[in-house]
Amino acid sequence: MKRLLICSAVLLSACGGGPRVPDWQMNAHQSLERAQAAYLSGKDNVEKTEFARAREQIASTGKVELIIRIELARCAARVAALSFGECPGFEALRADASPADAAYANYIAGRAQASEAALLPEPQRAVLAAGGDEAAAKAVAAIPDPLSRLVAAGAVFRANRATPAVLDTAVETASAQGWKRPLLAWLNVQAMRAEKAGDSAEAARLRRRMVLVEGPIAGS
């Protein structure tokens, strides 16, 4: 995911020094960061507005590869919150996607092949290439960036490879960052698994925690 986050060569190629960053890069960077933060906090209307601003700034350059990457970043944030579906913004541009971007799209959709691992950013590469579910769980937990870690957890879950350790990592990550939407989603998965296992006390504890977190989601 880090290659899709904006303070990188994707948009802020000069963020570490060098020539002045063009206004469109800075504006797109700030809008995309606000959009991601809004989505993870459950503020849908803010997310839509800020993402539209980011896309408009990038569209002014005609750089299709950058539009593809912010569309993937948007879909990845949804995977982090277990909101699964197609990625329409990317699919509309798939014909112009690089092999690496196509591999990342497959990865967050839970259908990447091991042969595509080399095309992914390094942390996600380790998750996809892991030789078993326990190894994948360790690879997810080892990712330093919180959003990248949560996206990886979502991708593993979508691929039906999530162990209880992956769920714990996701809950701890979302909780530490105060990301309401993914925290509720992952707690709900834990509660459903506890119910399925017949552990009603644990399920009830998790549901109580969800009520504490929940409240109305602004902007929905």
Q: What is the pLDDT of residue 18?
A: 59
Amino acid at 176: A
pLDDT range class, residue 217, cuts 50, 70, 90: low
pLDDT range class, residue 21, cuts 50, 70, 90: confident
pLDDT at 216 over 90: no
Distance CA 107, CA 117 (A): 9
Tokens describing residue 9: 């060569």
Do the beta carbons of residue 33 and residue 26 sit within 8 Å? no
Distance CA 57, CA 102 (A): 23
Of 5 and 200, the one with more pLDDT: 200
pLDDT at 131 over 90: no
What is the model's pTM?
0.87
Cα 204 to Cα 192, 193, 208: the distances in Å are 10, 12, 6
Q: What is the mean pLDDT of the chain?
A: 89
Do the beta carbons of residue 61 and residue 39 sit within 8 Å? no
Distance CA 96, CA 66 (A): 11
- Tell me the pLDDT tens digit for each residue of 69-102: 999 999 999 999 999 999 999 999 999 999 999 9
- The share of the chain scoring above pLDDT 70, in percent, equals 90
Amino acid at 181: R
pLDDT range class, residue 13, cuts 50, 70, 90: very low
Of 130, 152, 157, 131, the C-alpha closest to 141 is 152
Do the beta carbons of residue 210 and residue 191 sit within 8 Å? yes
Domain segments of the chain: what residues? 23-213
**What would the mean pLDDT of 197-212 be, rounded to a whole number?**
96
In the block, tokens 């539009």 appear at 67
Q: What is the pLDDT of residue 206?
A: 97
